[in-house]
């Protein structure tokens, strides 16, 4: 009998969510969140996340944050913004964000730390609609089932490029939001 390859043991099911327009929005009239406290959870997102957590799915987020490169927010502020989201929604275990237009950088934020994947071979493809952040998360988690939820065409395109099942955010919030 062939020996099992321990490298490929999967870690369960994984829900990946986009953040802006999918899970959260600014509290202010600004189009984008520019300060960590300027955010609220979109109705239905909390219930939908709670549902997936209750059936044992791990949940992580991926978000383009070129507002950093555009000078709208500092890298430090962007990290705090993601940690604030994880305070509001503790089921989200990690947030991966790409702060540059070239998609070369990717930071992973947890409630307590930050690590970067700027030298990873996927560097250059992190910014959606490129699939780099999704492929990175798949590499790290090696999940069984996987689904990505997002609100924009570039989210769907990234999911297609990564061969991941995609669900539109409004449909996802409507389907699971009452949980
Ligand atoms: Mg979005």
pLDDT tens digits for 152-164? 999 999 999 999 9
Q: Is residue 1 part of a domain?
A: no
Q: Looking at the domain assignment, is residue 21 inside a domain?
A: yes
61 Cα: distance to centroid of ligand 1 (angstroms): 11
Distance 4 CA to ligand 1 centre (A): 39
The better pLDDT of the pair 107, 3 is held by 107
Q: Is 121 part of any domain? A: yes
Distance from residue 11's CA to the centre of ligand 1 (Å): 26
State the chain's mean pLDDT as an integer.
94
pLDDT of residue 179: 83
| pLDDT at residue 7 is higher than 80 | no
* pLDDT at residue 8, rounded to an integer: 45
Please give the distance, rounded to the nearest whole angstrom, from the Cα atom of residue 153 to the centre of ligand 1. Answer: 9
Residue 14 lies in a domain: yes
15 Cα–ligand 1 center, Å: 15
Q: Which of 1-10, 48-57, 83-92 has the lowest mean pLDDT?
A: 1-10
Asked whether residue 136 is assigned to any structural domain, the reply reads yes
Average pLDDT over residues 67-93: 98
Contacts 24+ apart (CB under 8 A), 48-53: 48/149, 48/172, 48/173, 48/175, 48/176, 48/177, 48/179, 49/15, 49/17, 49/23, 49/89, 49/91, 49/92, 50/91, 50/179, 51/176, 51/179, 52/15, 52/91, 52/176, 53/91
pLDDT category at 1 given cuts 50, 70, 90 is very low
- Domain count along the chain: 1
Residue 48 belongs to some domain of the structure: yes
pLDDT tens profile 98-124: 999 999 999 999 999 999 999 999 999
**What is the CATH number for 111?**
3.40.50.1000
User: Distance, CA 62 to ligand 1 centroid (Å)?
Assistant: 9
Neighbours of ion ligand 1 (CB under 5 A): 18, 20-21, 151-152
Residues of the domain holding 156: 6-176
71 within a domain of the structure (yes/no): yes
Cα(9) to ligand 1 centroid in Å equals 31
pLDDT computed for residue 10 by the predictor: 58
């Amino acid at each position: 009998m062939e020996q099992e390859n321990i490298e490929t043991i999967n870690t369960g099911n994984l829900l990946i969510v986009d953040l802006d327009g999918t899970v959260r929005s600014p509290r202010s009239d600004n189009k984008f969140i520019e300060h960590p406290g300027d955010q609220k959870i979109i109705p239905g997102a909390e219930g939908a996340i709670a549902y997936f957590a209750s059936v044992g799915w791990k949940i992580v987020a991926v978000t383009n944050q070129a507002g950093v490169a555009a000078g709208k927010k500092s890298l430090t502020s962007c990290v705090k913004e993601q940690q604030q989201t994880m305070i509001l929604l503790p089921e989200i275990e990690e947030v991966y964000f790409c702060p540059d237009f070239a998609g070369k950088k990717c930071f992973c934020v947890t409630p307590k730390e930050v690590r970067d994947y700027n030298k990873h071979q996927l560097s250059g493809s992190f910014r959606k609609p490129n699939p780099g952040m999704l492929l990175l998360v798949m590499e790290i988690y090696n999940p069984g089932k996987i689904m990505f939820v997002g609100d924009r065409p570039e989210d769907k395109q990234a999911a297609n490029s990564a061969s991941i099942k995609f669900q539109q955010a409004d449909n996802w919030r409507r389907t699971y939001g009452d949980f």
